[in-house]
Amino acid sequence: MLYGKAVLIESLTVGRGRALSLIILGVLTTFGPMAIDLYLPAFPDVAVDLGVPVTTVPLTLTTSMIGMGVGQLLYGPLSDRYGRKKPLVGGLVLFTVASVACALAPTFQTLLGFRFLQSLGGAAGVVIARAIVRDLYQGRELAKALSIVVMVFGLAPVLAPTLGAVLLEFGGWRTLFYFLSMFGIGCIAISAGLPETHAANRRNDHGIVLAIRTYASLSKDSRFLAPALLIGFSYVTLFGFISTAPAILMDYFGLDELMFAILFGFLSLCFAIGAPINRRLLRNFSIQRLIMGAVVLQVVSAAGLFASGLGGPRLIVFVLTVGVAMLTVAVVSANGTALALDPFPNSAGSAAALVGLVGMAFGASVSALLVALHSPVVIELAATMLVGGIAGLVMLPFIAGSRRNRGIPVMRVAANT
């Protein structure tokens, strides 16, 4: 039995099994973009059907982000204690049931509650997929594997809004949630076929108190904290672009909806393309060198956009500088996640959850800040990108120091997990 299980797990890391398993795990990380970006074109329909102002509908995104954040903190320790499969399947069942409930919601308040539960369930895929990758790989191979996962994740924001618009042509906004429930059922079926990758002898028996202590230990461990913060600073560029893209492309540059969709999709695709580029570069360059180069490029592209904004921004400059920046975000995301998870094989679920929470916290903060500012929107984005890039530069020496200390066990709480 154990031999057969070991062979099955090994089959996930070689040949076609490797590619297929990483694509599947990548799909499991898309529950956030699928639940949010697919739904964006439906805002006016929701407002009319449920009798609320269209400006109120974004509250459903807020509840989704809260649910995703809370869920990540829950599923990390659960997957470290009970294995990956049971919490994963349980979370996806919750996502599926809540999606149907969203489709049937009679009031806006009810929709808010079920959107929270939907994201609470979907967070299982986001966290546990990364933990499974850590179970299967380490070191440079972990960074290569995460590059594929990031690539699949990066395609979701490109495809989801268009898919949402197409589905709206065939039915109302409730159709989108029925589709998400079918997406959940498909992921449940796929997940049920995956082997358990977190061996019983590596699991812990942590309750709530010890789970919190594990999070506290991770947050004080430079091997985790330095790359996690670097990812957060890099996500300043990603969420800054997402938050300002409609205002910049449609209001400032005057593009129609079709051209907006094309350019938004292209720039989002740059993020997805950055991941396979990173995977190829890992053959010849170290993780640290790639991170250093990516952060420097982020600063250069942000400075170029800022200079262009001061002199009257041009569309071609905006596309080139943001496109380069989005490529670098993918490189930092894949390599930074590998650095953050690699030293903690027995607490990979908790580490993956905390990485996700850091990225979401930075993203939510940036989105809120950009809404509150009233400067020219291109300057706002450029300044935000520049601040994030410079903060990333400041983190580089800490990344180097954390790598030198990778052999030193820091967490006594998780030492036997």
Do the first three CATH levels of 1-203 and 220-403 match, i.e. the same topology? yes
The domain locations on the chain are 1-203, 220-403
Record the tokens describing residue 405, joined without a space.
């200390």
CB 257 within 8 A of CB 250: yes
- Fold entry, domain 220-403: Growth Hormone; Chain: A; (1.20.1250)
DSSP labels for 116-160?
Answer: HHHHHHHHHHHHHHHHHHHHH--HHHHHHHHHHHHHHHHHHHHHH
Tens of pLDDT along the chain (417 residues) come to 444 455 556 666 666 777 788 888 888 988 877 877 787 778 788 888 999 887 677 788 778 878 888 888 888 888 888 888 999 999 999 999 999 999 999 999 999 999 999 999 999 998 898 888 888 888 888 888 888 888 888 788 777 777 887 888 888 899 999 999 999 999 999 888 888 888 777 777 666 677 788 888 888 888 899 999 999 999 888 878 877 777 788 778 888 766 877 888 888 888 888 888 998 898 889 888 999 999 999 999 999 999 988 887 789 999 999 999 999 999 998 899 889 888 888 787 888 888 888 877 777 677 667 656 666 788 888 998 999 999 999 999 988 765 555 443 333 333 333
Spell out the residues 6+ positions from residue 209 whose beta carbon is closer than 8 angstroms to its own: none
Q: How many CB atoms lie within 10 A of CB 317?
A: 17
Selected from 3.40.50.300, 2.40.50.140, 1.20.1250.20, 3.30.1490.20, the CATH number assigned to the domain covering 1-203 reads: 1.20.1250.20
Residue 389 CA to residue 187 CA, distance in Å, equals: 36
* Total residues found in the chain within this entry: 417
